[in-house]
């Protein structure tokens, strides 16, 4: 997984790029964001989803809220069966 800050329209956004198997049976995969590591929400935009032609896909998700100076934001991938 790669976490980066992406600049867009004079604002900075937390992004997460991750790889997973293309055909995960009965699994729900959700990128989530938080500002306190307690409450998580799926307030992300999927920027890209690319098939790697090897049975995996690479997904990039971005927080919908810009990261402000001094503010802490966290992003993760949640996988549920």
Length reported for the chain? 81
pLDDT tens digit string along 29-66?
A: 899 999 999 999 999 999 999 999 999 999 999 999 99
Q: CB of 59 within 8 A of CB of 22?
A: no
Is residue 1 very low, low, confident or very high in pLDDT (cuts 50, 70, 90)?
confident
pLDDT at residue 22, as a whole number: 78
Q: Is the pLDDT of residue 70 over 90?
A: no
Q: What is the rounded radius of gyration, in angstroms, for the C-alpha atoms of the chain?
A: 13
The SS3 assignment for 27 reads coil
CA dihedral 74, 12, 1, 54 (to 10 degrees): 140
Residue whose structure tokens are 């959700």? 30
pTM, full prediction: 0.85
Q: Which CATH number describes the domain made up of 2-80? A: 2.60.40.10
Q: Is the pLDDT of residue 79 over 90?
A: no
């Amino acid at each position: 997984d790669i976490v980066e800050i992406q600049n867009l329209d004079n604002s900075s956004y937390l992004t997460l790029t991750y790889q997973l198997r293309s055909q995960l049976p009965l699994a729900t995969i959700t990128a989530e964001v938080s500002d306190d590591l307690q409450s998580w929400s799926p307030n992300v935009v999927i920027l890209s989803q690319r098939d790697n032609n090897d049975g995996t896909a690479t997904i990039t998700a971005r927080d919908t809220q810009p990261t402000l100076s001094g503010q802490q934001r966290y992003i993760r991938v949640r996988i549920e069966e």
